[in-house]
Structure 1
Amino acid sequence: MQHRPPNQRRAAALIGAAALAAGLTGAGSPANAQTAEGLAAFATPGSRLEIDAPAALETVPSLVPDREDFAFLGEAGDLVWIAGTVDGRTFPTLDAREADTDVTVSLAKTEGPGDAWLYTFEGAGFADPLASTAGGESFTLLAGTTAPVVLAVDEPGRYTLELVAREDGAASGSVATGHAQAPASASTTYSLTAAEATTEEAANLAAGHDAAAGNAQAASSCEVVADGHVDIGPRFVDGEWTVQLRDDRQSESVWRDLADTVIHVPDAAVFPIPEGDFDFLGEPGEEIYMLPQVQAAGIVWPGWNTQDPGVIEAVPGSVDWNLAAVEGPGAFTLFLTGTFGGADVLFNSAEALPQTVSVPRNTHAHGNWTFSEAGVYRLTIEFTATTADGETVTDSAEIQLAVGDATDPDDACTGGTGGADTEGDQDDDRDGWLPTTGTGWLLWGLGAAVLAVVAGAVIMSATRKRRTAADGAAADQTGDADAV
């Protein structure tokens, strides 16, 4: 990776972070990146510069990923402590929306056994250090913007850190006196304690094995997924073809058993049925619950995935995805929105089951998941394929969903061990765990959403086949690829 000079990198990173956080909220980032506690808010009433900030910060132990852009924090696998987030997934922001001038920010230490860093992300999610207690760097936060950042320390113990801000630019003249004024400055002090931890404890937190990791299940014995990106698909676990859910809500993806996972669909996912080719959903204007094809803030973004390395290596052809049964208070559909509108229905529980779509190997796609009523749903699915050796492999599982704010996810949970498997993701080049801020998610999410829509519409339309209990015969349907 080519690096620009530090000052240019810092400026580009903060401009990108501020613009994305301020202008693209909800376009492709998880909601938790938008609702995080603030690290500092800057305001410039009159000729003063003021900082509003918490006095104390919680910390979460974590591991430095095996990536060059995180080398400033230490060696891969080293322990670091992330401050300002109590769950490991929501992150603080620097807020200059009430500032009339750009603000130059630096970080100092008055007490503590190690060093501290502030960093953000640039480009396609590369970590970009902004300031540290070791180097004395400073950076500029543009007036009228916010920027998601990460604060980290590298040794256990008690810290007192000082964030110093100064109005950017040269001295200016006072309207009242005509005399030049030096740029205003202000500071705030944080206290934090990085508790002793082991690498195993940090790894368990990252995998969601500890309640302090901030997973969303509260009182549920299942892992509850209420927002962020997940995929459902097959993989080989100890040599056995297994259907699981890939959870991408943290930096290191984990595979979860569907029996131990509940997808929670909130009331925020209620949408009116549009006019046009959507009569299979109901009357136009009627409301349904929908997890859209393109990621939306505060709503889980489920897709399907045949990209596990073991699947790609062992299966030369496509994978059949079968919907065998639907249990729930209303109807379930899964459909694709075409490039020029319209709907390509993949599954519809109002029609006879089972139904099957053919998914090419090495495919990652998203669609619109709809539910006509609130309540608990269980979708019995099956993935089947033929290996290069001619062996037929198949596995079935239930997707458990709690639809509506009033539906208790515990009512949908049939398993409840909460187990997760981080092994098998060696292709991710993310051996450790550190938080991904709103910037990285926004940049990634926008590109992924476009790819998912286009790839899903082309691949699934071109290969879709339906089998129903009524006719038992497969009929290939070819989509209009020229329309894309």
Structure 2
Amino acid sequence: MTATHARARLLSVLVCLLLGCLPLLIPWDAGAQPAREVLRAVHTDVLHTTYDGASLKLATRIGTGEYREADPAGLIFNLEDRGSAKVELPDVPAFAFLGKPGDPVWIAPESQDPELIWPGWDTETIAAGVMKDDVVDLTLVSADGPGAVEVFFNYDEFTGVVPRVFSSVDPAYKTLHQPTGRHVHANWSFGALGTYKLVFQATATTQAGATVSSGPVEYTFVVGSYEPPTTPPTTPPTTPPTTPPTTPPTTAPTTRPTSSPTPPACVTAVLSVGHVDVAARTVGSALRFQVKDGTQGTTVWRDPGTVAFQVKPSADEAVPASPSYRFLGAAGTTVWQIPQTQAEDLLWAGWNTESVDYSTLNGPVRWSLDKVAGPGKVAVYQFDQFGEPLISFDSAKTLPQSISLAGPTHAHGNWAFTELGLYELTFTYSATTKSGQQLKDTATLPVVVGSDLGALCPGGPTPTSEPTETPTTGPTDTPTTTPTASPTSSQQPTQDPTTAPTSAPSGQSSPSLRPCTTTSSPTRTPAAGTTGTSTASTTAPGTTLTSGHADYAARIEGSSLTSRLKDGTKTGDPVWRDPAAVTIRLNSAAGTTAPGGAFSFLGATGSAIWQIPQTQKADVVWLGWNTEELTAAQVYGGGVDWRLDKVTGPGRMAVFEFDSFGRPKIIFNSADGLPDRYRIPLGTHAHGNWAFTAAGTYTATFTHSATLADGKQSADTTTLKFVVGPSGGARSFADDSSPAPTTEATTDCKLAMTGGSIGPGLLAGAAVFVLLGVVLVIATRRGIR
């Protein structure tokens, strides 16, 4: 080897050694972490509190239905500066703790807005009896950021109070005594854009007397836009491929799939009463925009080109005086509305992505209003956490406008039209698959406001107001269950049902029923005209319900319509109970005071009342009504008549909801004469407010009646007991078989709606004002059943 070769060999070695040491010369951050997951427009229980028998832990739970857990250290909770997030504070003294009137704050709302992150907390996995007093303390240890942080529940219309939970500036609101077995949401407010570091800690005492703690856990919230930090790569980038992919990526056609039927020259059906959804669904590999028609009690998928909506003349309403409604016109002017809550004789239109396969998508489904042709303006709106209108679409402003539906959604809002006539609403549903494929479907939906259906087909025959054929645009599905994040349905009281048909509808067969476990039943009172007796009770006498979800329901057992109490207060499948064997117990958590004004039917301002609210509240039974077990193949006429026959007790009883402008709608009122009747469409699951004006024991006698598919009338009458008042009242409730007082009530009130799922001691005596639907869409979501 020559000297030249030796020097060359040595030089090569030195170069290799130098290159090998280069990574050591580059500054390295020993604390560098993997990229954090950014949570946007998703449901998350930020403070997911668990106990494994030894350790109390704080983590985060993400998703709806099928949850996954994550370490908060690897997450960014991003409240984007978009949609309804930025709010100007109202000139209401109750909100003074947030700042001065007109100041901006950014809020992740208590009710889900599908465009924003939906943060909450939970202790659902901690069973009763594990912790002393069944309570875990959640404490905001510290907060660092550019503005104040406040967590609070919705404004209480009855008390005029905003219940506060956590505050970064007020030491009085640092610790929440949270009952176990709960899932809670509230408003998270931030005073400025930027990054916040919130440190929380969970502590509790076991039944054995041991103190357990999660220790401090840091959560990072970013309000506004978030850009992940950039770091230089630790390894050289890989060489790009030298050959192009064998097949280029494809995109979905922007026109309607060729498998869709050609829309007829004129629509063949006009939907004017009942439940419909402007829906997106996955069909094969395509995203389809269709109308989910449930007006006949079963689901039919229709092409928007074959169907029209009608907003009846009777849907007219006067625009409220509040300045918040100026987007609809001057105060007192007339608008015609599809209401957010179901009315018996009107169309009830929502939006729905429950049939979309989100597992194939990269991101949300977007629903846009592209164009409006018609004689007036169109707006779709709900309410924000201050009870003000939250506008999703407003044709008075530049179109297109869109909203983001981050997960399977079923929601309802108010659809307002400012003039009579024919409107054509062009909507688009769009999404992107995980492979980058763009999915899109656009169609135009005609809406007739008023009675002139001839405007749909100039020069042609006037279409019928009922469907005349079953389209073949998609498979017929059974009705899906509405997520509890979505608004519950409600209907206006009706008069006596019409005469039953003499024969059953043709071509209908009764579907199979789920088995009903039975035991001996208390004596039942058969209703006049009933065709048979009810089956036995599903439970032994003496069941008392004090919290959780239950429904007063109608179903078919044997060959008869039967009233049942659907008890979902415990985990697992619901138990179907005989109402006569159930006591609903309302303790001090249900107490509040009558607000007066529009609610004067509840009593004098400040007088005590006890109320089951329309939205779930901790330590109060959440009682609704339900016809989801019934189908059009079993019941003729599309619904069940629900009647309150008699009330006994020390005070008045009333059940009520709200209309689209927040006014109470009374369903039952024992004060103004009974019986009261209410029509419940098939497939309904709804909640309202149940109010009692005095402490004591009440019995309420109800009747469900309907015309069965064979043309015969069937009815069932039973009595439900309510025990109302503070704990430790006049008598023991261990034995629920004891007779109720027989004194006839002299009631004269109808009730109002409240809400909020919260811990005792924080909101005892509060009936939180329900914001029906917040954000257009809801969804979902997210239920508490």
Larger Rg, first or second structure (1 or 2): 2
TM-score normalised by structure 1 residue count = 0.46
